[in-house]
Chain A
Amino acid sequence: MFYLVDFSVIKPDLGLIFWTTLIFILFWVLIGKFAFKPIAEALRKREGDIQSALDEAAKARAEMQNLNAENERLLAEARTERAKMLKEATDTKAEIVNEAKDKAREEAKKMIENAKVEIDNQKNAAIVEVKNKVGAMALEIAEKVLKKELQGDNAQVGYVNQLVDEIKLN
């Protein structure tokens, strides 16, 4: 014979009931008061902290987005400004070049005109000189002809021809 088939766990035992009540109430009071309550409070507080941190992050993100848009706008503005400035610079450059060209052209024109006047003057002077020379030569020729006339006719005609040739050569 071994042990009896005794399903003893189903029989309520006063001693076990007493100790279970005592230990469970101790568990409830001690752990409840010194652990469950503070843990629940700490968790609630942390939940609040996390929520506010999340809210703040969302706010910061929104602000960041605004800032980004602002930056974007500034950048676009700067870009158009730059384009405008570049265009202006190009225009100014063209203007300056054209002005310079015009000036140069005018200067050149003036110089050419001056040169023409000079040339004219020189030409006139030269013509006057030629006239004077021709006059003098004619006088000289006339003098010489007269002198020859005085020597013979033939000789005079020949001479005149000779003189005329001389003039051509001149």
Chain B
Amino acid sequence: MQRFYRTLSGMEIKRLFTLVLLLAATLSFGQDHDHADHEGHDHGTHEEETHDDNGHAGGHHDVCTFHHEVTPENFSAQQIAFHHIADANVYSIGPLQLPLPAILWSKDGGLDFFLSSKFDFETLGHGTGYNAHNRYILDGGSIKRITDPSFPDGTVRLDGLKHKHETTDKGKDKEVTYVCYNGNEYRTDAESTLDAGMFGGGITSFHDFSITKNVTAMIIVFLFMLWVFLKVAKAYKTREGKAPKGLQGFIEPIFLFMREEVLEPFLGDKSDRYLPFIMSLFFFILSLNLFGQIPFFGGANVTGSLSVTLVLAVLAFLVTNLSGKKDYWQHIFWMPGVPAWVKTILTPVEFLGMFIKPITLTLRLFANITAGHIVVIIFVSLIFIFGNVGTSPVGAYGGAVGSTVLTMFMMAIELLVAFIQAFVFAILTTSYIGAAVEEHHH
């Protein structure tokens, strides 16, 4: 078991290293893109002169439009990757966009509930809506809100969207979407996020409680797993005393492995009490990891969203600390058997450890799954990079061959990672709970 952990942590480091490399690589892509964009500006200004008949003040290099021509100059694999791993208010399967229910709340507008098809986006497109609905718009699959209260409520046809770079008061570079309507430009807010401006987000004018792509994926997976496990549980009743068969035979070894290799070594005779929680964590993460990898099925990056891993880690934190025995708290705040001056160092460390554990749980799963999704998307993007976005068919064919091999390799690894990360999350949570419920005899 010890050796197993060592290999695991070795893999972890490799995965995180891959993520860092990738982020570095994608950021350099982004810089290339910026340079390319400057070269393309002359062209853009000409267009603005001819098309911008609304006559507002210049200085914006973009045109009011719903369609963005992808050119070798503005193509960015990083943007594509970040766009594809993001949550969305449409369910996209390749170019196919399916509407999802939008549940939105804003201080001044109250609660809004409607289907995202109200935005009138193209079924085969990028998920950009032609309409605004109650001041909400759909931009690249995600809902944004027009900040100006003078903008009319109800469904309104827009003239186009503009994207502008702005710098937040925290010094973060971010892009703001502007809506062109009736000769005016209206600023929009992205949905509220709880990062307190750390990653360019923060609390804005509205909250998005929609059944997003990730939520849809979770519901699908939840219903599927419910069906699977009820069927398996039923099989144990109806086929009592018989050898496991079919689905039951598939689930049983995994279930037994989790119980005998994860629960029992850490929890012993208390394992039955925590079995539902640990099994839920494992199968929930595993099924979502695998669901996100099914090609042409949306590829929802659920377990690669910090929000999702955060919830799971917080629940693990709650279960651990709510079942903490006297010994556990004593070990954190007043470690027995060490000199008093060591205690003054140990107690803050142990106290911080309580919170670092769920934070590492959150980041590990998030980073691993997100990295996997990004790598696959970047590998697929190789086709467009080598093909120079359709201008070089020979390069595209070459890229396609290389991309297929690399993507297949990556997906095989991701299949392994799906199991490993679900297992690691479950075993670490179990070990934390195990430490909390352990009773020492000094």
Contact = CB atoms under 8 A, between A and B. Distances in A.
A1 B272 contact: no
Q: Which of B163, B219, B222, B256 has the most CB of A within 10 A?
A: B222
B191 A30 contact: no
Nearest to A49: B241
Contacts of A19: 209, 211-212, 214-215, 218
B237 interface: yes
Contacts of A18: 209
A34 B233 CA distance: 7
Interface residues of B, number: 78
B307 A6 contact: no
A156 B252 CA distance: 152
A9 B306 contact: yes
A17 B225 contact: no
Contact of A17 (B165, B195, B252, B310): B310
Contacts of B259: 40, 43
B132 interface: no
Contacts of B122: none
Interface string A4-18: 111111111111111
A21 B280 CA distance: 13
A37 B275 contact: yes
Nearest to B85: A9
B284 interface: yes
Interface string B178-192: 000000000000011
A42 to B, nearest CB: 4
B352 interface: no
B229 A36 contact: yes
A2 B384 CA distance: 15
A165 to B, nearest CB: 129
A32 B280 contact: yes
Interface string B305-317: 1111011100100
Interface string B255-269: 110010000000000
Contacts of A42: 233, 236-237, 240
A33 interface: yes
A132 B277 CA distance: 146
11 contacts: A5-B27, A5-B78, A6-B175, A8-B201, A13-B193, A16-B307, A31-B276, A34-B230, A34-B233, A37-B275, A40-B255
Given A5-B30, A16-B305, A36-B275, 18 more contacts: A1-B62, A6-B175, A12-B310, A14-B209, A16-B212, A16-B308, A17-B194, A19-B209, A19-B218, A20-B308, A23-B218, A28-B276, A33-B276, A35-B232, A36-B229, A42-B236, A42-B237, A43-B236
A-B interface, 6 closest residue pairs, ranked by CB to CB distance from nearest: A32-B276, A4-B175, A35-B229, A42-B236, A11-B193, A16-B307
Interface of B: 27, 30, 37, 61-62, 68, 70, 74-76, 78-79, 82-83, 85-87, 103, 140, 142, 163, 165, 174-175, 191-195, 199-201, 207-212, 214-215, 218-219, 222, 225-226, 229-230, 232-233, 236-237, 240-241, 251-252, 255-256, 259, 272, 275-277, 279-280, 283-284, 301, 304-308, 310-312, 315, 366, 370
